[in-house]
Amino acid sequence: ATPMSIMVAVGQGARLGVLVKDAAALERLADVDTLVVDKTGTLTAGRAEVVDVHLLPGFGRAEVLAAAAAVERGSAHPLARAVLAAAGDTPLDDVVGFDAPAGRGVRGVVAGRAVLLGNADLLREDGVDGTPLDEPAAAARRGGATAVLVALDGEPAAVLEVADPVREDAAATVGGLRAGGWDVVMLTGDDPATAAAVARRLGIERVEAGLRPEDKARIVGELRAAGRVVAMAGDGVNDAPALAAADVGVALGSGTDVAIESAGITLLHGDLGGLLRARDLSRRTMRNIR
């Protein structure tokens, strides 16, 4: 049976913006020593914005953005919202054959044209030579932006430089968790260069990039097998397997339903600082019980 004090803590959590679905998760949180955390939408605000469009010769900005936005209409990813906003009120064509391979991007056919946008993996998978995009992509990543690669009819066309500011409380939260004895590991499907730039800004030393959803879950499993007690924080569909694989899954309330369903704890309003409050609440509660 769940002790009364846990129930009380669950209630306190709610007032702190920490929604506890699984009381056992709140109990386990006191023993966590490692936080595995997603980048996009979790450490970053998920308020991504297209700040630049780098075009290869022969392609136009309006053409690229309209094709890209038409396909992104089918995606709930923060990057999709950024691309749609960049296209403004341009009328968008219908898409056929829409597909969104998790953690890689989207594809579809727009007005008879094959449109592909996402990371280098996705282009490679579809047999597109992305080499001409390497240089503008690298420049974008050095500043911590995400380079969304666009191919039209199998030809590399553009790099959308998407900036997603880190959450206001991200550095303080990471600092507080580390000071409290937690190791922090960033996991991301984004490129290593972008990931490293963001990690540096937040004081995160360990980063694993270019990951697919199943890789994130595998790394959580490996850490647990090595004796770590792991909390995983994430927001996306791509984080769901890792959230479920962790000792404690923590979803951002701003995240997708699938993430929230996979997690025992949800931080309301996408307030990352709720992690610190949740940890302290759990430690206090468990100290009183033990």
Catalytic residues: 38
Order of strands across the sheet with 105-110?
Answer: 49-55, 155-163, 146-152, 113-118, 105-110, 95-99
- Pick the closer one to ligand ADP by CB: 26 or 116: 116
Q: What is the DSSP letter of 234?
A: E
Shortest distance (Å) from residue 88 CB to Mg ion = 25
* Residue 249 site contact among ligand ADP, Mg ion, none (CB < 5 to 8 Å, cut-off depends on kind): none
Q: Would you tell me which residues interact with ligand ADP (CB under 6 A)?
A: 38-41, 72, 75, 77, 79-80, 103-106, 117-119, 146, 148, 188-190, 236, 238
User: Which residue, 105 or 274, has its beta carbon nearer to ligand ADP?
Assistant: 105
The residue count for binding Mg ion (CB under 5 A) is 5
Bridge partner list, 52: 161
Smallest distance from Mg ion to CB 230, Å: 17
Per-residue CA distances from 142 to 128, 138, 192, 198, 199 (Å):
23, 6, 10, 10, 12
Q: Which does residue 80 bind out of Mg ion, ligand ADP, none, counting CB within 5 to 8 angstroms by kind?
A: ligand ADP
- CB 260 → ligand ADP: shortest distance, Å? 15
Stretch that binds Mg ion, among 25-33, 150-158, 229-237, 273-281 (CB under 5 A): 229-237
Q: Which residues contact 158 (CB under 8 A, 6 or more apart)?
A: 53, 54, 55, 56, 59, 64, 133, 149, 150
Instruction: Choose among 252, 229, 281, 226: nearest CA to 38.
Output: 252
Q: How far is the CB of 252 from ligand ADP (least distance, A)?
A: 11
- Select 9 or 152, whichever has its Cβ closest to ligand ADP: 152
Residue 188 site contact among Mg ion, ligand ADP, none (CB < 5 to 8 Å, cut-off depends on kind): ligand ADP
8 A C-beta contact, residue 103 and residue 77: no
